[in-house]
Amino acid sequence: MPFASYLRFALASADNARILTFGFVMAFASSVGQTYFIGVFGPAVQNDFDLSHTAWGSIYMAGTLLSALLLPWTGQQIDRIALKRYTMLVCAGLVAASLAMSLVPSSVFLIVAIFMLRQAGQGLAVHTGTTAIARAFHADRGKAVAFATLGFSVGGSLLPFLAVLAIASIGWRLTFGTSALLIALVVTPLVWWLLRWKGMTTTVHVEPTHQSAQINGPAESWTKAQILRDWRFYLIVPAMIAPSIIITALFFHHPELARAKDWGIDWVTGSYWIYALGSVVASLAAGPLIDRVTAARVLPSYLMPLALGLLFVWAFDHFMWAWPYLTLVGVTVGISFTALNALWAEAYGLKHFGAIRSLAVSIAVFSSALGPPGMGALMDFGVSVENVCAFMALYCFGATALLTFALKGYSKPA
């Protein structure tokens, strides 16, 4: 039973429990900078600052793009700074970002606040937990990453709902202020305690001792410059960014999708637990599979659930089709969380993992900024939601073909 095996794995030692909990908490805390959380504040923020849908989407895009530009530099600092110090800086960033959002005086400063949320949350909190996990585990890396990334699913299923209740009760500003308080008083002390394990404070400096699987050459640990000269990396990118650009666009425009399909926005957002369930099950199943056959053999099919879910939106109108759609989107998200992070470690080694992953994440963050305005522009030009989804499905098929070719012949580490 997968859950039982994960429980045994997590409780195998105190060290395992600490580092896996650390990864989970960082993934959960990243929620304050994720689209599924920020998106529920949209109507209240738009009302306060008299913003149109286009203006709000443009502000969100600008903040996200600024985050993507800075992330390659901030992300690679985890290769140079002790993990505990780096984590405390990230937690301070989460607190500052939440406070900035709660106090933002104008739409201009709203760009700065969104940038801070996206940088600290979507960018660095995720990056910190995943990098620590990837460096601490070798044989069970897939399972470890899968366990830690459950924090995304728990956050995605609980926090948007709680935020909606809080906004209705105390307003959106105090809701962000409360988030800052909870991160400062709960999350930060918790991760500080978890990092008291000596092994975790030094994982940032560990040299890889196992042979990494390579895509096109025998290198123990690739540098970022070497990867940028690897043609196969560019064939992987279209598939790598597909969840970021497509799913961000879908969640940002779910109100419009719900209206177009006559599903009801309350029905769609109230069904997010289905999305979270699909993500959890897929992530837990993918972890052990990756450990057995490698991420490179799992990844080529990971966009197919997303493509199928998009085709469901294109073809069917009954409100119950929201459930298989959200389930399949969650399956792709769950696999991507686990498999993509494992792939970078398998393919390029661990010495420069922070710089490599920050490069990949910055590309994904950049693409996520383009999704909402891109989908909005297509709809403004009269393209139906159904046809937008069909186009996205075709993109998934094309990206899968490139990914399969890039990873052909990829072998398991010795």
Q: Which stretches within 138-202 are classed as H helix?
A: 141-148, 150-170, 172-182, 188-194, 198-202
Q: Can you give the pLDDT at residue 362? A: 81
Q: Can you give the pLDDT at residue 365? A: 81
Name residues whose C-beta falls within 8 Å of residue 324's C-beta, 6 or more positions apart in sequence: 309, 312
Give the count of beta carbons closer than 10 Å to the beta carbon of residue 14. 9
Q: Can you give the pLDDT at residue 7? A: 61
Using only the alpha carbons of the chain, give its radius of gyration.
Answer: 20
Question: Which of 245, 243, 204 has the alpha carbon at shortest distance from 375?
Answer: 245
Q: What is d(CA 327, CA 65) in angstroms, rounded to the nearest whole number?
A: 29
Structural domains of the chain, ranges and CATH numbers in brackets: 11-205+218-406 (1.20.1250.20)
Lookup: tokens for 10: 């997590």
DSSP state of 211: P
Q: Can you give the pLDDT at residue 412? A: 42
Determine contact, residues 397/307, Cβ cutoff 8 Å. Answer: yes
Q: Which residue has the tokens 């029905």?
A: 267
Q: Can you give the pLDDT at residue 206? A: 37
The tens place of each residue's pLDDT in the chain, 414 residues long, gives 455 666 666 666 677 788 888 999 999 999 999 988 898 888 889 889 998 777 887 898 899 889 988 988 888 888 888 889 999 999 999 999 999 999 999 888 999 999 999 999 988 998 898 888 877 776 677 777 777 778 888 888 788 888 888 998 999 999 999 999 999 999 999 999 988 865 554 444 333 434 444 443 334 677 778 888 888 889 999 999 999 899 988 887 887 788 888 887 778 877 888 888 898 888 888 878 887 888 888 889 999 999 999 999 999 989 899 899 999 999 998 888 778 877 887 777 767 777 777 788 788 888 888 888 888 788 878 888 899 999 999 999 999 999 999 888 554 443
Q: Can you give the pLDDT at residue 349? A: 72
Determine contact, residues 180/98, Cβ cutoff 8 Å. Answer: yes
Determine contact, residues 45/51, Cβ cutoff 8 Å. Answer: yes
Q: Can you give the pLDDT at residue 207? A: 37
Helical (H) or strand (E) element with 184: none
Q: For 9-15, which contacts have Cβ atoms below 8 Å and span 24 or more sequence positions?
A: 9/140, 9/143, 9/144, 9/147, 10/147, 14/197, 15/197, 15/199, 15/200
Q: Can you give the pLDDT at residue 215? A: 43
Lookup: tokens for 123: 């960018």
Q: What is d(CA 334, CA 10) in angstroms, rounded to the nearest whole number?
A: 19
Determine contact, residues 316/260, Cβ cutoff 8 Å. Answer: no
Q: What is d(CA 182, CA 156) in angstroms, rounded to the nearest whole number?
A: 17
Q: Can you give the pLDDT at residue 200? A: 52
Q: What is d(CA 22, CA 301) in angstroms, rounded to the nearest whole number?
A: 30
Question: Which of 299, 364, 305, 311 has the alpha carbon at shortest distance from 329?
Answer: 305
Q: Can you give the pLDDT at residue 121? A: 92
Instruction: Say how many Å lie between the first and final Cα of the chain, rounded.
Output: 28
Determine contact, residues 239/403, Cβ cutoff 8 Å. Answer: yes
Helical (H) or strand (E) element with 92: helix 83-103
Q: DSSP labels for 356-414?
A: HHHHHHHHHHHHHHHHHHHHHHHHHTT--HHHHHHHHHHHHHHHHHHHHHHTTT-----
